[in-house]
Amino acid sequence: LAGTEIIWFDRFDAAAMIDAMPRATLMMGVPTFYTRLLATPALSREATRNMRLFISGSAPLLTETHHAFSARTGHAILERYGMTETGMITSNPYDGARVPGSVGFALPDVSVRIRGDQPGVIEVKGPNVFKGYWRMPEKTREEFTADGYFITGDVATIDAEGRVAIVGRAKDLIISGGFNVYPKEVEDVLDALPFIAESAVVGVPHPDFGEGVIAIVTAKGAVPEEEAIIAQLAKQLAKFKVPKRIIVVEALPRNAMGKVQKAELRRIYGDSFA
């Protein structure tokens, strides 16, 4: 145990958190916290001068957010990856390069693999992994491989150095016209557009393709017509990956941890091609 003191907030308040930073050294948050901090003028190198480390988890941190936060504060956010069933699995190093878009390397004594082609589903084995689901032996058998690896359901790539980059959840994979579309690849292109604040890409029933790709986005300023955005995306993405609809909303639905609720988006916009 470290014996450290926690400064507790009942809810996230960017201004209050910045005011508290001179009394803190460490912050753990979801990506949404960092985008909201960046939207607060008071965030600066001086405001974060006493801070030792900023950590992000629970959802992928955009490369743009990582770069913007570093430029504004001088701090490189440390992104890591874990699950309820496993505790922490990977992390960018405390000492060393924290690569934007990567959740780093497998922790000591933890084995991480992807079987078959990449991107693929992460499987993990180690002392951090739980023994099984309480009173659910069938589900436990389904979620473990014959040689004892837990099947996370998260789709990722692992580079030659062992760095892991999360692509998305297997359940969020879109199969459109027989082609696999990983939402994060499309979201990265959308989020790089100057008029898009954030995006969520999902697949919904389509009479011809099985699933049609649609993008739900929030805006930064004036947004071009839907056709113009689609034409712009067509220059950067394969045809089958280009969203057939671009829907602008005030905010994306999130759970208490700040994760975008894609199941809710599929429910709301499920009849887009009906």
Sheet containing strand 196-206, edge to edge, reads: 196-206, 210-219, 245-248
| Nearest CA-CA partner of 207 in 182, 177, 187, 228 | 177
**What is the number of residues in the chain?**
274
pLDDT at position 2, please? 78
Quote the pTM value. 0.85
Task: Tell me how far apart the alpha carbons of residues 111 and 126 are, in angstroms, rounded to a whole number.
Answer: 6
109-150: pLDDT as tens digits: 999 999 999 999 999 999 999 999 999 999 999 999 999 999
pLDDT at position 24, please? 97
* Inter-residue contact 26 to 48 (CB < 8 Å): no
Taking the alpha carbons of 156, 170, 100, 202 in that order, is the dihedral positive or negative? positive
- Average pLDDT of the chain? 95
212-246: pLDDT as tens digits: 999 999 999 999 999 999 999 999 999 999 999 99
Mean pLDDT of 102-113: 98
Query: Which domains are seen in the chain, by residue range?
Result: 14-168 (3.40.50.12780), 173-268 (3.30.300.30)
